[in-house]
Amino acid sequence: LESNTVLKPAIKLYEKLGFKKVVGRASPYSRANIQMELDLER
């Protein structure tokens, strides 16, 4: 999942649903400044 940190309510929702921040991946989207992923095997 890629988003922007100005969307604070969305980021809080993703975190509540279990998404974790991912670091070190390049994004093709210039407005995306945060990447998150959800471990579906937990």
CB 1 within 8 A of CB 32: no
pLDDT of residue 14: 98
- The rounded average pLDDT for each run of 10 residues, N- to C-terminus, in the chain (42 residues) is 97 98 91 96 84
Domain boundaries, the chain: 2-26+33-37
pLDDT of residue 25: 84
pLDDT of residue 30: 93
- How far apart CA 33 and CA 31 sit, in angstroms, is 6
pLDDT of residue 31: 95
pLDDT of residue 24: 85
Task: Give the DSSP per-residue string, 1-20.
Answer: -EE-TT-HHHHHHHHHTT-E
Q: Structure pTM?
A: 0.84
3-state secondary structure of 25: coil
- How far apart CA 19 and CA 16 sit, in angstroms, is 7
- How far apart CA 25 and CA 15 sit, in angstroms, is 19
